């Protein structure tokens, strides 16, 4: 994997909105919040735009904004403004040679999962599933420290949840492989396309927000029937924020995750605080990951 150079204080972070537009907050306040951590900030055109009501500019503009940030030698890292919807509309419009030839820290989550998958698989670029710019005014110490640790680790990185959040063993065992994944809805949407996620001998990370448990069941079964759960070496289930029962008698989310994991007999853990949560962990996608589901431990190695 292409490992981007570490980010240091004084470097420049470029902001882009490759998915949805900024709906809450002010871009200048966001810029000031990031600058308060010691970074220069350069704002992409897409951060100021709205198109069709739910996109941050038209498809061509958003795709070009991605390319411009990778081509700009003054930019050291690229952070997405927010998620929403729109990545699937630009996957066939990006020149991936630009990304491959100009590896940089790239960070975001949710809808940004689509770019993580293609950057990992097509561009051989290690990317970061983590904080987005619109939350900068609310970053807590744990969240910012996890971001810094993830993008700067050299040889080894051990991941720990916030103190009051427990990691649960779903299925005992050890697993290793490059980490890939992100948002469940976005992972599922790649199936059957040329951007389909490859989970062979990898550790699959999954998170989700705002879905009924039966819909989580449907998407996980889709991954199961597509062979993606059989192919992976282990499963890390992250935060499932506001994923709730449709009927009172429905199973709990942890029961569903255990059933799915047992179907493929893969080591699995649940409730890693990565996803639509705060405090939030940043995870290095594409990095070598070693997980012990029995002791709920996760380590990354270069």
Catalytic residues: 110, 207, 276
Cβ 199 vs Cβ 234: under 8 Å: no
Distances (CA, A) of 240 to 187, 257, 268: 15, 11, 15
The neighbouring-strand residues paired with 283 are: 129
**How many CA atoms lie less than 13 Å away from 85 in the CB half-sphere?**
6
The dihedrals phi and psi of 159, each to the nearest 5 degrees, come to -100, 130
225: how many CB neighbours lie within 10 A of its CB? 11
E-strand ranges in 27-84 read: 40-43, 77-80
Cβ 238 vs Cβ 291: under 8 Å: no
For the chain, what percentages of helix, strand and coil (3-state, to nearest 5) are there?
A: 35, 25, 40
Handedness of CA 216, 219, 222, 227 (dihedral sign): negative
- Torsion angle, CA of 16/147/266/119, rounded to 10 degrees? 30
Edge-first strand listing for the sheet containing 40-43:
40-43, 12-16, 77-80, 105-108, 127-129, 283-285
3-class DSSP assignment, residue 297: strand
> Rounded to an integer, what distance in angstroms lies between the CA atom of residue 243 and that of residue 217?
11
**Which of the 8 DSSP states describes residue 102?**
S
């Amino acid at each position: 994997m292409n490992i981007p150079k570490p980010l240091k204080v004084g470097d420049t972070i470029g902001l882009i909105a490759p998915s949805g537009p900024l709906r809450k907050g002010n871009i200048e306040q966001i810029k000031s919040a990031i600058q308060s951590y010691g970074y220069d900030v350069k704002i992409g055109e897409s951060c100021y735009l709205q198109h069709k009501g739910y996109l941050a500019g038209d498809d061509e503009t958003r795709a070009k904004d991605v390319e411009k940030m990778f081509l700009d030698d003054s930019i050291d890292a690229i952070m997405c403004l927010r998620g929403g919807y729109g990545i699937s509309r630009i996957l066939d419009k990006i020149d991936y040679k630009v990304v491959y030839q100009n590896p940089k820290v790239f960070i975001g989550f949710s809808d940004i999962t689509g770019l993580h998958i293609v950057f990992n698989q097509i561009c051989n670029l290690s990317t970061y599933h983590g904080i987005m710019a619109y939350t900068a005014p609310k970053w807590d110490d744990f969240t910012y420290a996890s971001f810094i640790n993830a993008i700067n680790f050299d040889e080894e990185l051990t991941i720990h949840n916030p103190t009051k959040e427990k990691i649960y063993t779903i299925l005992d065992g050890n697993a290793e492989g490059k980490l890939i994944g992100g948002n469940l809805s976005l992972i599922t949407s790649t199936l059957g396309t040329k951007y389909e996620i490859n989970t062979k001998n990898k550790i699959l990370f999954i998170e989700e927000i705002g879905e009924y448990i039966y819909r989580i069941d449907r998407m996980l079964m889709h991954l199961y029937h597509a062979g993606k759960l059989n192919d992976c070496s282990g499963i890390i289930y992250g935060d499932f924020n506001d994923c709730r029962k449709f009927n009172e008698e429905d199973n709990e989310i942890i029961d569903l995750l255990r059933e799915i994991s047992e179907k493929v007999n893969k080591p699995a853990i649940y409730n890693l605080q990565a996803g639509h949560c705060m405090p939030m962990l940043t995870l290095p996608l594409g990095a070598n990951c070693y997980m012990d589901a029995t002791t709920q431990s996760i380590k990354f190695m270069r």
